[in-house]
């Protein structure tokens, strides 16, 4: 691979992944401000053969319309790509890849962690100690909800949804019900203690915990809305490690305030890094700053996936993860 091929990484990566990219290409890393400003995008499209964006990047129209554009491929650092207009990219001859598979376990771990945290008040208990509010053990202090044996509902039964089911069923003895747009092999579902239901509503009504693992985008925007939140049990909890816009945040705030549902664990938000102010005031939700893939192993593997896709592309091959 020739070093004349120039690649821009729009957000700093783990060093091991950057070093791997530099073995093949001439690489520049945009260190800040983040996200990368529009004027930097305009220049980058003229100066670089490939750009590696992340979920925080909102590509300007010039990414698909600029005259004399040098950039031929976007190697997205992440599995989700609702921040990229795929149809416009294809129409303009711009290839796009993503990084599926490598963040499955880390994201499922995060979802399970949020489930436990909100059910047992783990984050709230930590802050009570730090704030000097703990006065000692007593039999009725900060009672949570038992997780073992409760029913988990999963919306979206792809790699991450299946990994979540595996943790819940085999680790905590939880029966699993799920909704997925396509039919899942019954034998696979059975091996995970899971049963496929026909509608989102059926899953919501049956579950003590609901974990979202569906893709973002127009089809799933506000999939969980006021009406569907009312379908959940008043003792149930919502977990979201998918995309922020899958949940109508205003409706969720109303449901949490009214105790229509018992709580929520959220790792993603509609307008990151902004968080709905109503969520910040509530004690029955746990909020994390988009940490689903945040392990050194996973973030490095994501970068290596981008490298693999770009190497294939510039070798004249179809990238393994082309969208």
Assign 3-class secondary structure to the chain. CCCCCEEEECCCCCHHHHHHHHCCCEEEECCCCCCCCHHHHHHHHHHCCEEECCCCCCCCCHHHHCCCCCCCEEECCCCCCCCCCHHHHHHCCCEEECCCCCCHHHHHHHHHHHHHHHHHCHHHHHHHHHCCCCCCCCCCCCCCCCCCCCCEEEECCCHHHHHHHHHHHHHHCCCEEEECCCCCCHHHHHHCCEEECCCHHHHHHHCCEEEECCCCCCCCCCCECHHHHHHCCCCCEEEECCCHHHECHHHHHHHHHCCCCCEEEECCCCCCCCCCHHHHCCCCEEECCCCCCCCHHHHHHHHHHHHHHHHHHHCCCCCCCEC
Catalytic residue among 23, 219, 227, 272: 272
Active site residue 169: no
Active site residue 243: yes
Catalytic residue among 231, 243, 276, 299: 243
Active site residue 167: no
For the annotated catalytic residues, the residue numbers are: 243, 272, 290
């Amino acid at each position: 691979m020739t070093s004349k091929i120039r690649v821009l990484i729009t957000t700093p990566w783990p060093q091991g992944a950057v070093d791997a990219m530099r073995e093949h290409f001439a690489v520049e890393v945009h260190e800040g401000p983040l996200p990368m400003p529009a004027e930097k995008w305009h220049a980058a499209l003229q100066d670089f053969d490939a750009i590696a964006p992340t979920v925080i990047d909102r590509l300007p129209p010039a990414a698909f319309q600029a005259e004399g554009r040098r950039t031929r491929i976007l190697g997205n650092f992440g599995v989700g790509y609702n921040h990229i207009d795929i149809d416009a990219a294809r129409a303009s001859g711009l290839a796009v890849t993503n990084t599926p598979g490598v963040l499955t376990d880390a994201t499922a771990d995060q979802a399970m962690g949020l489930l436990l945290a909100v059910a047992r008040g783990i984050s709230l208990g930590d802050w009570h100690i730090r704030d000097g509010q703990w006065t000692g053990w007593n039999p009725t202090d900060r009672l949570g909800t038992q997780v073992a044996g409760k029913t988990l509902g999963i919306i979206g039964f792809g790699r991450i949804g299946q990994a979540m089911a595996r943790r819940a069923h085999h680790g905590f003895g939880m029966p699993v019900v799920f909704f997925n747009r396509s039919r899942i092999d019954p034998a696979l579902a059975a091996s995970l203690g899971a049963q496929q239901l026909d509608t989102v509503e059926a899953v919501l009504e049956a579950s003590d915990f609901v974990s979202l693992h569906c893709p973002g985008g127009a089809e799933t925007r506000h999939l969980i809305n006021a009406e569907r939140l009312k379908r959940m049990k008043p003792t149930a909890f919502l977990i979201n490690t998918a995309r922020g816009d899958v949940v109508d945040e205003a409706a969720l705030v109303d449901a949490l305030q009214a105790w229509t549902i018992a709580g929520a664990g959220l790792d993603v938000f509609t307008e990151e890094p902004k968080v709905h102010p109503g969520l910040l005031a509530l004690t029955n939700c746990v909020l994390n700053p988009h940490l689903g893939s945040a392990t050194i192993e996973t973030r490095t593997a994501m970068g290596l996936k981008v490298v693999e896709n770009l190497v294939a592309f510039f070798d004249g091959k179809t990238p393994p993860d082309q969208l």
